[in-house]
């Protein structure tokens, strides 16, 4: 099946089969027309007709559904807490949990020994906690790197619009160097503090930690955290597999 993760910055798509994600591609979430999306969705030589998707941008859903229909997909599965996720959800209002976070929980529950924390470096930096018995119990939402960079440029006169890049020294010797070092070390500090606090809160001796999302390797490449680039897409595939009767015809 096709798995599609519609985030606030980027849309990632891939092909899921038997626990594996392949042919991953990415584009900006920003406005596009259905024709353009259709061309992007149609993988050459692929006869996939089912798509499972997680969207956290409701306003673009009709566009993607139209594009999926136009690209020849016959059934789609929007991810939500009403589905069999393979992991329990113990949360006051499950319908408010981002679909990408549910997918992360489904994938993490399968691959890692609970308790597990998933760090997802998207537009927001999210942390999701999955326990052995209760399953998904919640997490934390922080500003992600795209927001840090964008907001700094937007709300100051002199700071340029930049993104991640090589950080050669802790103490920046230029504006860009200082911004990059600040973003990277700031995010690493955030991750360390959150993980430590979660560990203390759970009173857990052992805690599995994995990271996914666009900038996961820039932040935790050399930390004791497993970077799992396609975790969200794999979660979508796992949920799709568990809910064959819940796909909706188009």
Ligand X SMILES: CC(C)(COP(=O)(O)O)[C@@H](O)C(=O)NCCC(=O)O
Clarify whether 28 is annotated catalytic. no
CB of 163 to ligand ADP, least distance (A): 6
Determine if 143 is a binding residue for ligand ADP (CB under 6 A).
no
The answer to the question of whether 120 is labelled as a binding residue is yes
Distances (CA, A) of 197 to 126, 143, 204, 207, 209: 15, 18, 11, 11, 13
From the list 66, 100, 128, 245, the catalytic residue is: 100
Binding-site string for ligand ADP from residue 205 to residue 224, where x marks contact by CB under 6 A and - marks none: --------xxx---------
Determine if 122 is a binding residue for K ion (CB under 5 A).
yes
Residue with smaller CB distance to ligand X, 95 or 205: 95
Residue with smaller CB distance to ligand X, 76 or 119: 119
Rg, the chain, Cα only = 19
For the chain, the residue count is 250
Q: According to CB under 6 A, which residues from 30 to 49 bind ligand X?
A: none
Determine if 122 is a binding residue for ligand ADP (CB under 6 A).
yes
Determine if 10 is a binding residue for ligand ADP (CB under 6 A).
yes
Report residue 39 as tokens: 């061309």
For residue 198, the number of C-alpha atoms closer than 13 Å in the C-beta half-sphere is 25
User: How far is Cα 51 from Cα 15, in angstroms, rounded to an integer?
Assistant: 9
E strand spans, the chain: 2-6, 10-17, 20-28, 50-55, 75-78, 116-121, 124-131, 135-143, 208-212, 226-227, 248-249
Q: By CB under 6 A, name the one of 7, 14, 235, 240 that touches ligand X.
A: 7
User: How far is Cα 104 from Cα 55, in angstroms, rounded to an integer?
Assistant: 13
Which positions touch ligand ADP (CB under 6 A)? 7-10, 26, 29, 122-123, 146, 163, 213-215
Residues in contact with ligand X by the rule CB under 6 A: 7-8, 56, 96-98, 100-101, 122-124, 126, 141, 144
Q: Hey, which residues are catalytic here?
A: 100
């Amino acid at each position: 099946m096709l798995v599609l993760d519609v985030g606030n910055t980027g849309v990632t798509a891939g092909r899921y089969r038997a626990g594996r994600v392949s042919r991953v591609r990415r584009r900006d979430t920003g406005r596009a027309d259905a024709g353009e999306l259709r061309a992007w969705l149609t993988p050459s030589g692929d006869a996939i007709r089912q798509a499972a998707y997680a969207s956290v941008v409701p306003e673009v859903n009709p566009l993607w559904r139209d594009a999926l229909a136009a690209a020849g997909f016959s059934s789609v599965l929007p991810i939500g807490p009403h589905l069999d996720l393979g992991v329990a959800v113990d949360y006051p209002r499950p319908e408010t949990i981002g679909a990408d976070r549910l997918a992360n929980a489904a994938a993490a529950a399968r691959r890692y020994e609970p308790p597990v924390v998933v760090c997802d470096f998207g537009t927001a930096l999210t942390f999701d906690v999955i326990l052995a018995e209760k399953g998904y119990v919640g997490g934390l939402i922080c500003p992600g790197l795209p927001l840090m960079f964008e907001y700094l440029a937007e709300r100051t006169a002199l700071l340029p619009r930049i993104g991640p890049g090589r950080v050669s020294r802790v103490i920046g010797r230029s504006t860009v160097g200082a911004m990059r070092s600040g973003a990277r070390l700031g995010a690493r500090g955030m991750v360390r503090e959150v993980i430590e606090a979660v560990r203390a809160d759970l009173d857990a001796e052992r805690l599995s930690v994995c990271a996914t999302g666009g900038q996961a390797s820039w932040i935790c490449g050399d930390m004791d955290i497993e970077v799992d680039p396609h975790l969200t897409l794999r979660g979508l595939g796992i949920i799709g597999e568990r809910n064959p009767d819940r796909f909706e015809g188009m």
